[in-house]
Amino acid sequence: MSVVEFSPALPAIEADSMLTNAGIRIVQNPDMVQTHRLILATIGDVTKLSQSETVLTIFPASWELIASVPVSRCAGSVGIPPSAHNLTSGQPGAWYIGGSETLLTWSLAGQTTQISRDRVIEMVGKSLEEWSSYAQIRFTYTTNTTARRNLNLQFAPRDHGDPYPFDGRGGVLAHAFYPPPYASDPLAGDLHLDEDETWSEGGSLDFSSVILHEIGHTLGLGHSDRPGTVMYPYYRKLDRLQPEDIKALLRLYPARTEITGSLTNSVNAPSETQAESVNLSGIVTGGSGSAEVTWTSMGLTGKAEGGRSWTAAGIPLARGINVITLSARDEAGAVATQNVSVTRTFGLPIPTPTPEPVPTPPAPTPAPTPAPTPEPTSPVTTPEPTTPVATPSDTVSPSIKILSPSTTVFSTTASTIRISGSARDNVGLKSVVYESGSTVGAAEGTANWSFEMPLNVGDNQIIVRASDEAGNTGWRSLLVTRR
Nearest CA among 95, 80, 103 for reference residue 183: 80
Residue 460 and residue 463: Cα distance in Å, rounded? 10
Residues forming a β-bridge with 410? 480
The dihedral sign for the CA sequence 268, 458, 221, 63: negative
Instruction: Give the Å distances, CA to CA, from 112 to 121, 141, 251.
Output: 12, 18, 34
**Encoded amino acid at 152, one letter:** N
Nearest CA among 221, 225, 211 for reference residue 251: 221
Strand ordering across the sheet containing 261-264: 261-264, 277-286, 309-316
Nearest CA among 48, 49, 50, 28 for reference residue 37: 28
Question: CB–CB of 226/232 below 8 Å?
Answer: yes
Residue 211 and residue 216: Cα distance in Å, rounded? 9
Q: What DSSP character marks residue 83?
A: G
Please say if 201 is a catalytic residue.
no
From the candidates 214, 276, 444, 469, give the one annotated as an active-site residue.
214
Instruction: Give the Å distances, CA to CA, from 90 to 231, 252, 256, 352.
Output: 18, 7, 16, 62
Give 187's Cβ-side CA count (13 Å radius). 17
The dihedral sign for the CA sequence 299, 250, 260, 287: negative
> Between β-strands 335-344 and 272-273, what pairing exists: parallel, antiparallel or unpaired?
parallel
Cis (ω within 30 of 0) for the bond into 359?
Answer: no
Q: Which residues contact 268 (CB under 8 A, 6 or more apart)?
A: 279, 280, 281
Residue 158 and residue 168: Cα distance in Å, rounded? 6
Give 372's Cβ-side CA count (13 Å radius). 3
> Between β-strands 399-404 and 335-344, what pairing exists: parallel, antiparallel or unpaired?
unpaired
Determine how many CB atoms are found less than 10 A away from the CB of residue 238. 22
Residue 398 and residue 426: Cα distance in Å, rounded? 7
Residues involved in catalysis: 214
